[in-house]
Structure 1
Amino acid sequence: MGDSAVGKSNLLSRFSKGEFHLDSKPTIGVEFAYRNIKVGDKLAKAQIWDTAGQERFRAITSSYYRGALGAMLVYDITRRGTFKNLKKWLHELREYGNRDMVIVLIGNKSDLVDSREVEAEEGQSLAQLEDLCFLETSAKENLNVEDAFLQMITKIFEIASQKSLEAKENDATKKVVDARKEIIYVVDEVTATKQTSCCTS
């Protein structure tokens, strides 16, 4: 996600198909692509959504944040306005998105160094302030594109694995507690029986 014409569609196209289109048209609403990725010894199928950056589509695109596990927040290093608007996008993400959502901040078009308006240090500072991952990429030159997506997907996978482990541990603890309750109940029952027989003899 991010402003219009920052290169979101080309980042996705480069990652999912290995393609770059200089004349790519603005995204209308939402488009998506798939790619299978090896994370450790597991194979993950990533479904990546490309949202429109234009204001008129904001009501539609914000509704897609709810189910998302991760987000790439993209700005164009040659247009300071796209960097300034990140706060607005970030607010939207945190308002509508999942609390555990992994967010990667991307400064795209790093090949256009002569036209740079946003320094890498500024992106890094914002990422540290907002607790985000950060990379500069070039969809055109295929610089850091793979790394950016893999960083996000790996982090998502780690969080999902941790949650699964915690759920199993909680379930195991509950079973132990339930088993102890049953043992205590049985012991009490036996004790009560013994006391009754003792009194009658």
Structure 2
Amino acid sequence: MFISVSLSKGGQAVNKPHNNGVICVPLQVMLVGDSGVGKTCLLVRFKDGAFLAGSFISTVGIDFRNKVLNIDALKVKLQIWDTAGQERFRSVTHAYYRDAHALLLLYDVTNKASFDNIKAWLTEIHEYAKQDVVLMLLGNKADATHERVVKREEGEKLAKEFAVPFMETSAKSGLNVELAFTAVARELKHRSQKESDEPTFQLEDYVNKEMKSAGCCRT
């Protein structure tokens, strides 16, 4: 399939022939959440298949990386923005919300404060992001079994309260990292090509189905 796609605010597609089968307008995915929840490590794991072990990594302002995914015979280019979680950089992050097609909102399962702050992040997202932005909640560092202070069920309950898809991830082990990005890429691709009479892609159903088939519903 050879197509070029531009997403409008309402999620409608503008399709034009293209000679390399790539969605050539990058679909922008932002990683947001408190400082230290593992946004940079998650991005590096997804982009390079590696884990940044050792010293704490703190993003200053905004950084981004690109990756092309093959989704149903179509190449989807994701431009993934890694944002600083510190309060002093928050105004910088606000400026990028409007351009984001999808947001991955992270908390750290070993840090209760990062989980408690999710509601504040959601308030911010609703204020600054597009109304139809794709949103997913991720409980990161799921490999840290002994340090865990936020139960999976708490994440599920919060996600249900705000009607957003949820999964736990681990940049260290790679748990659900590929799935998180692939799921939002599929949602964005579907929106870009959807005809009025086609059924809506159910992101949450897709995520749950993929986790069950992989045998990773529980950590």
Q: Determine which of 53, 58, 61 is the counterpart of 1:26.
A: 58
Identity within the alignment, %: 43
Aligned to 1:134: 166
**How many Å apart are 1:131 and its aligned residue?**
1.4
1-structure distance, mates of 2:56, 2:185: 25
After the TM superposition, which parts of structure 1 deviate over 3 Å for at least 4 consecutive aligned residues?
A: none
Q: Choose between structure 1 and 2: higher helix proportion.
A: 1
Aligned to 2:85: 53
Matching of residues 102-181 of structure 1 within 5 Å: 102-162=134-194, 165-166=195-196
Q: Determine which of 68, 72, 76 is the counterpart of 1:40.
A: 72
Aligned to 2:118: 86
Aligned to 2:46: 15
With structure 1 as the length reference, what TM-score do the two structures score?
0.79
Q: Choose between structure 1 and 2: higher strand proportion.
A: 2
**How many Å apart are 1:150 and its aligned residue?**
0.8
2-structure distance, mates of 1:95, 1:6: 22
**How many Å apart are 1:160 and its aligned residue?**
2.2
2-structure distance, mates of 1:159, 1:130: 21
Gaps of 5+ in 1: 167-201
Query: How many residue pairs end up in the alignment?
Result: 164
**How many Å apart are 1:120 and its aligned residue?**
0.6
How much is the aligned-residue C-alpha RMSD, in angstroms?
1.0
Contact 2:36/2:56 (<8 A) preserved: no
**SS in structure 1 at match of 2:96:** coil
Q: Determine which of 66, 71, 75 is the counterpart of 2:103.
A: 71
**How many Å apart are 1:39 and its aligned residue?**
1.3
**SS in structure 2 at match of 1:117:** coil
With structure 2 as the length reference, what TM-score do the two structures score?
0.73
